[in-house]
Every structure is written in structure tokens, then in C-alpha cells.
Amino acid sequence: MLNRQKRKLLLPFLAPALLLYCVFFLYPAARTFHVALTSWNGITPDLPFVGLDNFRELADDPIFRGTIRNTAVFTILGAIVLFPLALFLAFATSEKVFGARTFRFIVLAPVALSVATAALLWKFALNPNFGLVNGLLGAVDLEEWSRPWLGMESTAMIAVVLATIWHGVGIWMIFFAAAISRVPQELKEAARIDGASSWRIFCHIVFPLIWDVTRILIVLWIIGALQAFAFIFAMTGGGPFNATNVFGTYLYDAAFVESRFGYAAAVAVVMFGLILCFTAIVTRLTRRATVQY
């Protein structure tokens, strides 16, 4: 009787979510695979079918190949900076540290800022004319180190990566801290009584036990990094000379600057394929027996 009562709710309760989700989310996602096979410019009513031409052109485009390289650099460089930093911040503030809550709050606070806000903050700080960074370098007599950070091919990517990580590291710290807090206290105490240092406790007890979480986080980082857009768009626009041009900025330009919507859809399909592949590969590579604790 209870279930019969509740079943009356089925249709009216499911319909709104289902309708919005299908029309404005699933349908466009599916349609992208169709648009990717056309040379649509957004104006003609019908979509001229061109088969796999867009994908062939992508494979031949040196700028797109550069985009692949830049996205890879962004992802790897980001991971190299992000994971040790986030792990360190999480482990350090999990220990009995004076002011741990304050530290966590300050590290986490940028997460609440809009990507646009955070990107502008660092764009201004790195500005060659009035920027904070060059100003400080001048103040400590390192004027020759100052440079247009975002205007040089060699430093633009690093600057963008660091700004991205500054903005997001708090979330990753929280993820790691949550994992670390699930490591049983007795294990750490026992090791400590046996004379193990914090570093050894971290390497031999904490890290193996949070490896499963780390694995998931690496996958999440790769998925996110492949879609990097807002920071790069707001800080460099993909420049200088395509040095920070990644999938996201390339797709944006193709679609909303050049009106080559079929081509842009093909980029989206490649991105989606890569995301699926990486998720599968990394999950497999890092799979190992789950440690029981």
C-alpha cells in the first residue's frame, strides 16, 4: 500500500529533472558527435556532411599538435607541483600543528573565488608595468629577474600552472586530509613508540593506506587538466605565440572566433575520447591490492 501511494509520485517527480537533463544536457552532448562529422559554420540550416575530414585536418594541424603538447605539459607540470604540495599541506596540517585551522582556511580560501577573479589577480600581479612580482623583485635588487611573465613563451605556461594550482590546491588538500584522517591513529602511535620519524610514518604507513585515494585523485586531476580553460583564457588567451594554447582555448577559438563549429565539435570529441582513455589507463595502471585497515 505504501509503495502504491508513493508510485503516484513517479511521473510528476521525475519528469522535470528528466526533461531538463535530456534536452539541455544529454541531447547537446550526443549531437556533438554528429556535428563533428560536418563542416557546419552555424549559418546554413542543414549541416554539410564531410565524414572524418575534421579529424584528418586536426591530425595535420601543427597548432593542434602544439595544443596536445601544451595540454600534456600543463597536466604533468601541474601534477608534479600539485600532488606533493597538497599532500604536504594535508599531512602538515593533520599533525598537531599550532594554527592548523588557520592555515587550512587560508590555503582553501582561493577555492571560493571565481576562476576569473583569481586569474585576474595573478594577471595583475605578474603585469610587467605595475605588477606585484616585478615590483618586489625590484625592491630586493633583483630587477634583472623581472620580466613580462605572461608575455614570454618560456614562463607563461609555468605562471598559468602555478596560478591554477594556487586557486585549487585547497580542495586537493582537503581530499588528502580526509583520507589521512581515516588512517587509524593506533597505527601511527604504534610506529611512533617504535621510534619512527614522521617522514617514515608518512612513507610506510600513511602513504600506502591513502594510495587508493591518491589514484582516484590523479585521475580526477587529469580529467580536469585536459579541460583547462578559464585560467588560460583569462590570463594569456592561449598566447604568447600559442605557447599556452590548450584543447579548451583551441576549441573556443575554432567555434566562437572562427565559426567553424563542425571542427570545434571534432575537438570536443577528441577531448572526450582522451578523457575516457586516460581514466581507463590510469585506473588500470595504478590498480593494486587494496590495503585493509
Q: Which amino acid is at 73?
A: V
Among 9, 140, 257, 289, binds another protein (CB under 8 A): 9
1-9, 49-57, 71-79, 149-157 -> range binding another protein (CB under 8 A): 1-9
Q: Which amino acid is at 171?
A: I
Q: Does 195 bind another protein (CB under 8 A)?
A: yes
50-58, 74-82, 140-148, 264-272 -> range binding another protein (CB under 8 A): 264-272
Q: Does 25 bind another protein (CB under 8 A)?
A: yes
Among 13, 145, 241, 293, binds another protein (CB under 8 A): 13
Q: Render 211-244 in DSSP notation, one character per residue.
A: HHHHHHHHHHHHHHHHT--HHHHHHTTT-STTTT
Q: How far is the CB of 65 from another protein (least distance, A)?
A: 19
DSSP state of 38: B
What's the CA gap between 188 and 168, in Å, rounded? 29
Binding mask 65-84 for another protein (x = CB under 8 A): -------------------x
Window 83 to 142, contacts with another protein (CB under 8 A): 84, 88-89, 91-93, 95-98, 102-103, 105-117, 120-125, 130-132, 134-136, 138-139
Indicate the Cα dihedral angle 189, 190, 195, 201, nearest 10°. -70
Among candidate residues 265, 263, 229, 273, the one with its CA nearest the CA of residue 247: 229
Among 155, 198, 214, 286, binds another protein (CB under 8 A): 198
61-69, 72-80, 143-151, 247-255 -> range binding another protein (CB under 8 A): 247-255
Q: How far is the CB of 136 from another protein (least distance, A)?
A: 6
What's the CA gap between 181 and 114, in Å, rounded? 29
The C-alpha cell that represents 78 in the structure block: 601541474
Which H or E run includes 167? helix 153-181
Q: How far is the CB of 57 from another protein (least distance, A)?
A: 16
**Residue indicated by cell numbers 596540517:** 93
Q: How far is the CB of 116 from another protein (least distance, A)?
A: 4
**Residue indicated by cell numbers 534536452:** 23
Window 155 to 174, contacts with another protein (CB under 8 A): 166, 171, 174
Among 56, 65, 69, 200, binds another protein (CB under 8 A): 200
State how far the alpha carbon of 8 is from the alpha carbons of 11, 21, 86, 151, 249, in Å.
Answer: 7, 22, 49, 62, 48
